[in-house]
């Protein structure tokens, strides 16, 4: 990663100086504490000047539509205090002059405005792009008194200069330059037709998109992984209880044996020895000595019924938990395999983490391949998988999925002719590729026609049952 340098900033400024000077600042937005958008207009043209003071990717550029889409900035309902301060003093004002401070990564924008007493006042918006010291400062040119900063800097943070409202603004210590400064943006491999702004916007918006994707993945995984762990723990506990306390068959056998031995008239005893005709042995059965043999037999039948009901409910709970486990494993796979912020936003919406209402759409951006003249479609998350099964698939289409591991739904579109074995095999390979299966182990791929798929009521997104399936080991 390259960092913006003085020569890059100077070239950017000289390239855009005719637009910057004389432009009117129409709108100020601050998506986060480190992102700023200044909407400028000059000579009938509008541009958005984006400024980022994040120590990792500090830069500025006029945003292109592609760069703006990659950054995916959200404007908060309630703007931060510094944004309100900038709006108060600068919104609607013209940029009277501008300059880049010599040998510094500092861009100064000068505004002519009026104060509360209608007196002319000259303000400077100073944009400092200096790594961890990056900042935006608004100060009065006549007095050099700071009106406000994006980040206040106290004496505990810097012994060279403090930055906060009411203090005098001074430049940072001049750098010691013993060698010629390289122009780093020229080292990037971009076509000659690209302007300095094009390079800055494209390069940094891609970096920013990658950072946003990484942060979004971390956030989503931190939510889903504990849920999966909780489901697995519940399954382990229920399975263990079933294993330890599954006396269903024993209670049934005891009830039958006691009923068969009522003739012995051994009532009101602690136990009885009977012949177990199932296992061909003699066993001792504990009895309630306050009851007769018939009542003890009824007691064991009741225990049998209760144990059977508990077992059935536990198995039903295990089945429901298994569905939840498969769902969360698919969500985790979708998160980890996503390479677009829009796909992660769909997952966020699916999990109910987005405040906005889910957008109902009849189309999804599915991955598409061509295999031997057939169209093959792949879902990138549960929402798209559900769309494939519920709306997109036709009865004669073939559906593919990995067996016993998370993965995407793969759909082979069948039109006039049936696919041959080679085409089926290639689709199985795609299903394996777009799954959580690790190399080099073999994985079973199941496939069947779409008409044999069924989505149970109230089941999670992407969950289906199937029949008449075939399996291929890949």
Write out the DSSP string of 196-252. HHHHHHHHHHHHHHHHHHHHHHHHHHHHHHHHHHHHHHHHHHHHHHHHHH--HHHHH
Taking Cα atoms as reference points, which of 213, 210, 211, 208 lies closest to residue 50?
208
Q: What is the pLDDT of residues 64-111, one digit of tens each?
A: 999 999 998 989 999 999 999 999 999 999 999 999 999 899 999 999
Q: Which of 98, 78, 103, 83 is nearest to 39 (CA)?
A: 83
Q: CA–CA separation, 286 vs 270, rounded Å?
A: 6
Residue 357's pLDDT is what? 52
Handedness of CA 363, 369, 375, 378 (dihedral sign): negative
Higher pLDDT among residues 61 and 353, named by residue: 61
Per-residue tokens: 407:
């993965």
Q: Which of 291, 274, 292 is nearest to 283 (CA)?
A: 274
- 42-46, 113-117, 386-390: the lowest-pLDDT one: 113-117
pLDDT tens-digit profile of 233-287? 999 999 888 877 778 888 888 888 888 888 877 788 888 888 888 888 889 989 9
- The tokens for 65 are 């539509």
How far, in Å, CA of 73 to CA of 69, rounded? 8
pTM here? 0.77
Q: State the pLDDT confidence band at 362, using cuts at 50, 70 and 90.
A: low
**Start-end of H helices in 338-466:** 341-350, 382-387, 421-433
* Whether 472 contacts 444, CB under 8 Å: yes
Whole-angstrom Cα distance, residue 371 to residue 376?
Answer: 7
| Whether 172 contacts 160, CB under 8 Å | yes
- What pLDDT score was predicted for residue 51? 97
Residue with tokens 């049952």: 465
CB within 8 A of 415, min separation 6: which ones? none
The widest CA-to-CA distance across the chain, in whole angstroms, is 115
Q: Count Cα atoms within 13 angstroms, Cβ side, for 313.
A: 7
pLDDT in tens, 222-237: 999 999 999 999 999 9
């Amino acid at each position: 990663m390259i960092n913006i340098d003085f020569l890059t900033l100077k070239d950017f400024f000289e390239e855009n100086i005719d637009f910057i000077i004389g432009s009117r600042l129409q709108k100020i937005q601050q998506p986060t504490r480190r992102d700023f958008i200044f909407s400028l207009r000059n000579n009938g043209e509008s541009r958005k000047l984006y400024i980022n003071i994040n120590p990792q990717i500090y830069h500025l550029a006029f945003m292109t539509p592609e760069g703006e889409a990659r950054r995916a900035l959200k404007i908060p309902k309630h703007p931060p205090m510094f944004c309100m301060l900038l709006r108060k003093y600068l919104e609607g004002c013209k940029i009277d002059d501008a300059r880049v401070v010599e040998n510094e990564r500092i861009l100064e924008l000068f505004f002519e405005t009026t104060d509360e007493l209608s007196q002319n006042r000259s303000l400077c918006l100073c944009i400092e792009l200096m790594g961890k010291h990056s900042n935006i400062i608004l100060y009065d040119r006549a007095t050099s008194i700071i009106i406000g900063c994006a980040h206040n800097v106290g004496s505990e943070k810097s012994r060279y200069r403090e930055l906060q409202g009411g203090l005098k603004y001074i430049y940072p210590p001049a750098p010691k330059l013993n060698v010629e400064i390289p122009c780093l943006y020229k080292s990037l491999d971009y076509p000659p037709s690209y302007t300095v702004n094009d390079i800055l916007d494209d390069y940094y918006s891609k970096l920013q998109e990658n950072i946003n994707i990484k942060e979004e993945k971390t956030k989503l995984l931190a939510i889903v992984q504990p849920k999966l762990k909780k489901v697995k723990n519940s399954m382990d506990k229920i399975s263990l209880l079933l294993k330890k306390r599954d006396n269903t068959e024993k209670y049934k056998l005891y009830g039958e044996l006691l009923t068969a031995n009522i003739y012995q008239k051994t009532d009101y005893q602690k136990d009885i020895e009977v012949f177990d005709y199932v296992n061909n042995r003699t066993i001792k059965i504990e009895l309630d000595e306050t009851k007769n043999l018939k009542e003890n037999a009824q007691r064991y039948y009741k225990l049998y019924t209760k144990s059977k009901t508990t077992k059935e409910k536990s198995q039903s709970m295990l089945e429901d938990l298994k569905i939840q486990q498969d769902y969360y494993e698919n969500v985790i796979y979708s998160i980890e395999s996503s390479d677009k912020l829009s796909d992660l936003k769909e997952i966020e919406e699916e999990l109910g983490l987005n405040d906005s209402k889910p957008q109902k759409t009849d189309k999804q951006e599915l991955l598409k391949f061509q295999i031997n003249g057939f169209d093959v479609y792949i879902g990138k998350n549960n929402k798209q998988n559900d769309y494939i099964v519920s709306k997109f698939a036709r009865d004669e289409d073939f559906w593919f999925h990995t067996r016993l591991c998370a993965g995407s739904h793969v759909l082979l579109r069948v039109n006039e002719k049936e696919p041959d074995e080679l085409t089926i095999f290639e689709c199985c390979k795609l299903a394996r590729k777009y799954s959580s299966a690790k190399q080099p182990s073999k994985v079973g791929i199941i496939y069947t026609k779409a008409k044999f798929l069924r989505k149970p009521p109230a089941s999670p997104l992407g969950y289906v049952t199937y029949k008449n399936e075939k399996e291929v080991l890949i």
